[in-house]
Amino acid sequence: MSIIHKEGLEKQFIFNLKECNTTGFNDPLNEDVYSPSKGLIHRYPDRVLLTITNRCFAYCRFCFRKKNWSHFPGFDLSGAVKYISDHKEIREVLISGGDPFTLNIKHLESILKNIRNIKHIEVIRIGTRVLTSNPITVTHDYVGIIKNYKPIWIVAHINHPDEITPEFADAAEKIVNSGIPILSQTVLLNGINNDKKTLKRLFCKLAGMGIKPYYLFGCDQAVGNRHFRVSIDEALEIMRSLRCNISGICMPAFAFDLPNGGGKVVLEPETIVSRQNGRYILKNFEGRRYIYEDV
Ligand code: SF4
């Protein structure tokens, strides 16, 4: 690992005076407004988010839920189960935090069991930083219990290829071999990973381990995050370059959350140059223009 990479990785976790810039929002996604029960957020029609803890293995300075570090409203499992049971349109539950893997396995299992018992829930997702920050937690026993509640998807937060350690690889292999798919989500961070070579290395390494790069997120506008943020133009240029160089299975979608609870928006570099009467002019991955006659 080079010194530059090491410094880049450390910047994710070490306080910087630039955080005293107070522009931004305490609750950039307006999660409080969409929370009908303690620790449950219902923003999209078919899914809910459960923030079951405020504990993490490492605390990321750019975390958009950092207000929960000191003022966690708590999590009400019976309230969440009742709400989800009463809302048949919910088919997916994302369990997050904090990091769900910080919970004792019995505690996590009781949450999984209660959610899995709700007949209309098809999929459970667990968002975690455990693979990068405490992979030794992922024992065969731990995975053996979680897999009883399949279909489950693990969504692993990772921002830099140097966070892939032998322990990370070992834990990921246990999860994948148990039949639980892993997706990754990465936050685009100024001075840490905002360059195409770093991200190419990260996404290709993940795909090679059976982990599908899922989202590259723009850094949320939380208070103290300004110095981490990367412009949309720069992000799209990175995405365009990645599209030219890596295959679809290595490519995440670029998305960010709109402030004031506007929800997630996915952006792609522009490929439609013009369209008229079913005749498109499209730009390919090399930037060349082609005419395409639509049906
Ligand atoms: S691991 Fe996730 S929840 Fe925990 S501090 Fe980092 S971004 Fe926030």
pLDDT digits 0-9 by tens, 239-293: 999 999 999 999 999 999 998 889 999 998 889 999 999 999 999 988 899 999 9
Closest to 161 measured CA to CA, from 197, 127, 215? 197
Name the closest-CA residue to atom 6, ligand 1. 60
Q: Which atom of ligand 1 is nearest to the CA of 64?
A: 8
Name the closest-CA residue to atom 8, ligand 1. 63
- 207 CA → ligand 1 middle, Å: 23
Write the pLDDT tens digit of every residue in 89-118.
999 999 999 999 999 999 999 999 999 999
Write the pLDDT tens digit of every residue in 55-75.
999 999 999 999 999 999 999
Q: Taking residues 129-155, what's their average pLDDT?
A: 97
The residues annotated with a catalytic role in the active site are: 43-44, 47, 56, 60, 63, 65, 220, 257, 264
Q: Which among 13, 54, 65, 215 is the best mutation to test ligand 1's pocket, defined by most ligand atoms within 8 Å of the CB?
A: 65
Q: What are phi and psi of 254, to 5 degrees?
A: -90, 125
- 59 CA → ligand 1 middle, Å: 6
Whole-number pLDDT of residue 270: 87
Q: Which among 12, 53, 99, 257 is the best mutation to test ligand 1's pocket, defined by most ligand atoms within 8 Å of the CB?
A: 99
Closest to 219 measured CA to CA, from 43, 88, 29, 15? 29
Instruction: Determine contact, residues 126/154, Cβ cutoff 8 Å.
Output: yes
Whole-number pLDDT of residue 198: 96
- 56 CA → ligand 1 middle, Å: 6
Domains (ranges, CATH) in the chain?
A: 3-268 (3.20.20.70)
- 275 CA → ligand 1 middle, Å: 43
Q: Taking residues 7-31, what's their average pLDDT?
A: 89
The CA-atom distances, in angstroms, between 3 and each of 9, 53, 168, 271 are: 10, 34, 21, 38
- 124 CA → ligand 1 middle, Å: 19
Q: Which atom of ligand 1 is nearest to the CA of 56?
A: 4
Residue ranges lining ligand 1, Cβ < 6 Å: 56, 59-60, 63, 65, 97-99, 129, 157
Whole-number pLDDT of residue 4: 41
